[in-house]
C-alpha cells in the first residue's frame, strides 16, 4: 500500500461530510458541498497535489499571477473540484506546507459571483490566486484545520506517509 492509498482509505473511513467515496471518484457528478483552495502564500509549490487530484483540476498559476514569485504556486479550478479532500491531506501529510483548505461552496459562489454546477464547466476556466479571499489573513474562513485524518494514523501508516514525503 502506498501513501495515497493510505490517505484514500482513511478519508473513506472518516466519511468526511458529503465528500465522494475515494474508491469511486471520477468525473464530477454533483455540486460538492465544499471546494478546495490553496493558500498561494503557503504553497511551495512541490507539485504533489496536482499529481494526486483525481480530476486533474489543480494547475500552476500563470506567470506573474502572484507577484515576486518565480515559480508560481498552484491553485485549483474550483468549478471542477469534486470536494474530495485529497489535496488537503496530501499537502498536510506528504509535505511541510499544509497549504490547502476547504471552503463552503455557497460562500464561494457568493464571494465570486458564480454558480458551481453539477458537472465540469464546458469551457476551461483558468485558476486564479484568490489570495485576498482564501488564504491565511484573507477575508473568509475555511472549514476545518487541514488534515482530518492525521490523528487516526497507525504507526505503520505513518511510516508509509513519512517515506513518501
Binding site for ligand SF4 (CB under 6 A): 36, 38, 43-49, 53, 55, 57-58, 73-74, 76, 81-87, 90-91, 95, 97, 99-100
The whole-angstrom separation of Cα 36 and Cα 109 is 13
How many angstroms separate the Cα of 63 from the Cα of each of 4, 38, 74, 136? 30, 17, 11, 22
Minimum distance of ligand SF4 from residue 44's CB (angstroms): 4
Minimum distance of ligand SF4 from residue 110's CB (angstroms): 19
Cβ closer to ligand SF4: 16 or 155? 16
Neighbour count for residue 71 (Cβ, 10 Å): 11
The whole-angstrom separation of Cα 118 and Cα 116 is 7
Cβ closer to ligand SF4: 95 or 105? 95
Cβ closer to ligand SF4: 85 or 130? 85
Cβ–Cβ < 8 Å for 20, 87? no
Going 85 to 59 to 27 to 113, the CA torsion angle's sign is: positive
Cβ closer to ligand SF4: 100 or 108? 100
For 67, counting Cβ atoms within 10 Å of its Cβ (0-12 exposed, 13-18 middle, 19+ buried), the class is: exposed
Minimum distance of ligand SF4 from residue 86's CB (angstroms): 4
Minimum distance of ligand SF4 from residue 75's CB (angstroms): 9
The whole-angstrom separation of Cα 33 and Cα 20 is 10
Cβ closer to ligand SF4: 153 or 155? 153
Minimum distance of ligand SF4 from residue 39's CB (angstroms): 8
Amino acid at each position: 500500500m502506498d501513501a495515497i492509498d493510505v490517505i484514500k482509505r482513511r478519508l473513506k473511513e472518516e466519511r468526511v461530510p458529503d465528500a465522494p467515496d475515494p474508491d469511486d471518484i471520477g468525473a464530477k457528478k454533483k455540486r460538492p458541498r465544499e471546494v478546495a483552495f490553496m493558500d498561494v502564500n503557503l504553497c511551495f509549490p512541490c507539485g504533489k497535489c496536482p499529481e494526486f487530484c483525481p480530476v486533474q483540476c489543480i494547475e500552476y498559476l500563470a506567470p506573474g499571477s502572484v507577484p515576486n514569485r518565480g515559480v508560481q504556486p498552484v491553485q485549483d479550478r474550483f468549478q471542477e473540484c469534486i470536494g474530495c479532500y485529497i489535496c488537503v491531506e496530501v499537502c498536510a501529510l506528504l509535505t511541510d506546507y499544509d497549504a490547502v483548505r476547504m471552503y463552503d461552496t455557497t460562500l464561494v459562489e457568493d464571494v465570486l459571483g458564480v454558480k458551481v454546477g453539477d458537472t465540469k464547466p464546458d469551457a476551461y476556466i483558468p485558476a486564479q490566486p484568490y489570495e485576498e479571499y482564501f488564504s491565511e489573513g484573507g477575508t473568509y474562513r475555511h472549514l476545518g484545520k487541514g488534515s482530518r485524518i492525521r490523528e487516526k494514523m497507525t504507526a505503520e501508516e505513518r511510516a508509509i506517509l513519512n517515506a513518501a514525503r
